[in-house]
Structure 1
Amino acid sequence: SWGTLATVGVACMGVGEGLGIPLEAAAGAVCVGAFFGDKISPLSDSPVITATVTDTPLMEGIKHSLISTGPAYLVSLVFFFVYGLEFSGGSTAESATYVEILSTIEKSFNLNPVTLIPVFVVIGLIAWKKPTIPTFVAGIAVAAAISMVFQDISLKNMMNYMYSGFSIHTDSTFVDKMLNRGGFTSMLSTIGLLMTAAIFGAPLRTAGVATVLLDYVQKFAKNSRVMAFSVMCLHTLFFMITGAYYVSYPVIGSMTKDMFPKYGLERKNLMRTMLDTGTGLAPLIPWSTTGSYTASTLGVANIAFLAFAPMLWLSIILSAVYALTGIGMAKIKDSGDNSAETVPAQAELARE
């Protein structure tokens, strides 16, 4: 999602501005698309981390996450279609910004269909379920080779772009602002935020804050519905404290994953819940690493685009409804009819 926001997301913000769409609405649409992909892509770190800490098969967990993310995404699409009708008055051709973006890019680059090959390489490797790192490397290598051939970029410049970001000077200040970014060094501030979050989260775990909260969950979890909802609230709270799901996923996931089978529920329920209250919630929280990055990259405050990003909070609402009603909760098939409602033995809880 972060890479999407900084590339296609920034470009879409420019196009939206050219079409006269409010920046808040454009930012909301960008976030819905970016974080939907983040939650369901096997290349994304979010599903990989949550699948790992919950001992859930990756693709099985992603499919299950669609029961909350999918409907929320469809509702968002309908909302944007209806909302977008207001801006369909045929002003596209007259929009100076829109025309400026297209004409400048056409003059500055060779827009050959061959340049789409890296996209299909990555999608193909995802479909074949290849490992994440080799898939990324393959996409980067193919893109670099094509850019050197069709955009007449030397290997030295290519390496410089990878390290310090792309650099170009066109006749359009707006396009320059949109394209001059990226590279390894542009992520150093983000890495600093992640390190700070990890440093902040470690004492919370060592001091037993998460353990105390978990004890309350176990105390009040009289059935599977209360347990699932309580774990969801626990992860939401811990994420909002630490501001980074890179911290909350391993901590809460490792501590609660064994509770679900004891209540007759599969662990992929936990994976879906954490994705909704971690990856989905992150862009809406200003002090989180993702929220800070989203607001600074798109140039729109988190609270400003909240109403225009229904998928992010609708999926959380759906997860809460599923947890409280038991609807959509994947149950362990051989656990018996009543196992999902049976409180674990006190000896088991004490042993944990």
Structure 2
Amino acid sequence: MKAIIVGAGIAGLVAARQLGLSGWQVLVLERSASPRPDGYMMDFFGPGVEASEQIGLYPYLSQVAYQVEAAEYVDPSGRVTASLDYRTFADLAGGKVLSLLRPDMEHAARKALQEVPEGQVELRYGVHIQRMQLDGAKVRLWAGDGQEVETADLLIGADGIHSALRTAFFGPEQDFLRPLGMRAAAFIVQEPELNQQLKNRFVLSDTVDRTAGIYGLRDGQVASFLVYRQDPTAKLGESADRLRRIFAGTNQRVDRLLELSPANPYDDVVAQVVMPCWHHRSVVLIGDAAAAVSLLAGQGGAMAVCAAAALGNALGEVSSKEQIPAALAEYERVMRPKISTAQASGRRAANSFLPRHRLGLLWRRLILRSTKLPGVDRLVAGQIVKRLAK
């Protein structure tokens, strides 16, 4: 049995590993010329940890995790207005909360592919797919030069929130994309001095309608994560110029990072993908292509691993094309409840993460400051864990 996976992100790479270990021939096609270096930090816990432990991926992820001690909110004057202790949060989540940068998660997933027998999985970068077609029970793909790429028994779309495969087989993007009224940007720069100031802490701006998060990485690098409200009808213009204008005056650290911003950083709509069905004949969607939960849910990486593991489990015993539809239905049955919980969490988080007015800002400060009281810290962190780790 042969599968083609479109997209070499977290979901695509982990799915390739699981299918390869089950004896499938797997070809992974990625549009980017190489692994993408930029991305934001994610908290990985709950269902993601459970799935990664079950499939043996957890050791690879723990090797690239960051040891975050606290998240601090800072106002424009540089004053810390509130903070959250990560150790309490980790304890309530069973002691296993990993802070992972998206490119590092992909690196760990590629490293884990070494467990697959040689020749079972092939990974190709820089492939531009021109056309995709169902031919009976088979799928056929052509590259941008018009040459046929491959024929397979199963086509897996893991090409992200703006999935071209989803558009080709399920319908236009606007039928499934649910914007949350925000955009998010992320980039990584070399800034050793600032890196030293941020050791083991997330530092977030305490501001209305915009939030800038920064954190120190290895080798003197600093990563930024910027979320802001944006009129969907407004012209966007150059990303770097827009970000400097919107986040001007947030605080000195953010101003410094924006000075170093690349001309075209990652900058995209914050949205969820909601679909009535994730599979059609010999085609199936996983990860953000099927059900983006939005970065506000904090569970995108976890859901990608869960989906890849569930798909691998469902297809692991398949030995004929006739068994594929039932396996895909089983994958959906397992994943639907997890996705529903994570998407609901993302929608609830929108206003607290990005307050619309000063009253919302003050309320967030009050909640976070209350975690310093005996017992309240465990209550607040416990509610977060219960809401997300189902």
Q: What TM-score, normalized by structure 1, do the two folds share?
A: 0.28
- Say which structure is richer in strand: 2
- The answer to which structure, 1 or 2, has the higher relative contact order (CA under 8 A, 6+ apart) is 1
Q: Higher Cα Rg: structure 1 or 2?
A: 1
- Say which structure is richer in helix: 1
Q: What TM-score, normalized by structure 2, do the two folds share?
A: 0.26
